[in-house]
Structure 1
Amino acid sequence: MDRWQYLLVLAACLAVTAPLEVFGAGVYRQPARTVKSVLPVAAVFLLWDEVAIAAHVWTYNRGYISGLHIPFRVPIEEMLFFVVIPLCALLTYSAVSAILDRVNRR
C-alpha cells in the first residue's frame, strides 16, 4: 500500500477540490485557460526535477512511488503533482473569488 501513497494523496486533493467547480465560472469549464496556466509551469518544474535527479541532488523514496516513470527518470507521481496541485489551487482560488464576489454584492 505504501507505494501508492503519493498517487492516493493526489487523488484525495482532486476529490476534495473538485466540488469547488460549482461556485464559479470554473476551471474545468475553461480548459484552454487552465492548460495555459498549468502546463508551462509544470514543464519548467519537470525540467528542474530532471536536472536535480541527474545531478544526484534530488531523489524519491522508492517505497512511496509506483515505480512508473516518464522520460527523464521522473516518477509519474511527480509529473502528476505538477498538474494536480496547481489545478487544485486554481479551483480553490476560483471558488473563493466567486464566493467573495457574491458576499460583496450584498
Structure 2
Amino acid sequence: MTEFQYLLLMGACVAITLPLEFVLRARVYRRWRLLLPTILVVVLVFGLWDIVGIVREHWTYDSVSMTGVMFGPLPLEELVFFVVIPVAALLSYEGVGTVLQIARRRWADRRTKE
C-alpha cells in the first residue's frame, strides 16, 4: 500500500477540491480549452526542471512511496502532481472568487436596504 501513498495523496487533493466545481460553480473543468494549455505549460516547464534536477542528482524520490512507473528519470507521481496541484489551485482560486462575489453582493444589498 505504501507504494501508492503519493498517488493517494494526489487523489485526496482531487477529492477535496472537486466539489468546488459543482458547489461553488468554479467552472474550471468546463473551460477545458483554457485548462489544457495551462496544464501543458506546467508539465513541460516543471517536468524539464525536474528531469534536470534528477539527472544532476540535485534531488531524488523516495522509491518506497512510489509505484516505480517512470517516464525516463521522472516518476509517474511527479507528472500526476504537475496536473493535480495546478487544477486544485485553480479550483480553489475560482471558489474563493465566488465566495467573495457572494459576500460582496450581500454586503451591497444590506447597504442599499439601510
TM range (shorter): over 0.9
- Give, in angstroms, the shift of residue 85 of structure 1: 0.5
TM-score by length of 1: 0.93
- Work out the CA distance in 1 between the residues paired with 2:14 and 2:83: 11
For 1:77, the equivalent position in structure 2 comes to 77
Unaligned runs of 5+ in 2: 107-114
For 1:32, the equivalent position in structure 2 comes to 33
- Work out the CA distance in 2 between the residues paired with 1:99 and 1:37: 24
For 1:50, the equivalent position in structure 2 comes to 51
- Work out the CA distance in 2 between the residues paired with 1:13 and 1:20: 12
- Work out the CA distance in 1 between the residues paired with 2:36 and 2:99: 24
Unaligned runs of 5+ in 1: none
- Work out the CA distance in 1 between the residues paired with 2:12 and 2:52: 29
Structure 1 runs of 4+ with >4 Å offset? none
- Work out the CA distance in 2 between the residues paired with 1:100 and 1:6: 33
**Count of residue pairs brought into register by the alignment:** 105
The reply to whether residue 64 of structure 1 matches residue 65 of structure 2 is yes
- Work out the CA distance in 2 between the residues paired with 1:45 and 1:105: 39
* Letter in structure 2 aligned against 1:103: A
Kept in 1, the 8 Å contact 2:3–2:66? The answer is yes
Kept in 1, the 8 Å contact 2:20–2:26? The answer is no
* Letter in structure 2 aligned against 1:28: Y
* Letter in structure 1 aligned against 2:10: L
Question: Which protein has the larger Cα radius of gyration, Structure 1 or Structure 2?
Answer: 2
* Letter in structure 2 aligned against 1:94: E
CA gap 1:25/1:56 in 2 versus in 1, 3 angstroms? closer
* Letter in structure 2 aligned against 1:50: I
- Work out the CA distance in 2 between the residues paired with 1:53 and 1:25: 35
| RMSD between superposed Cα atoms in Å | 1.0
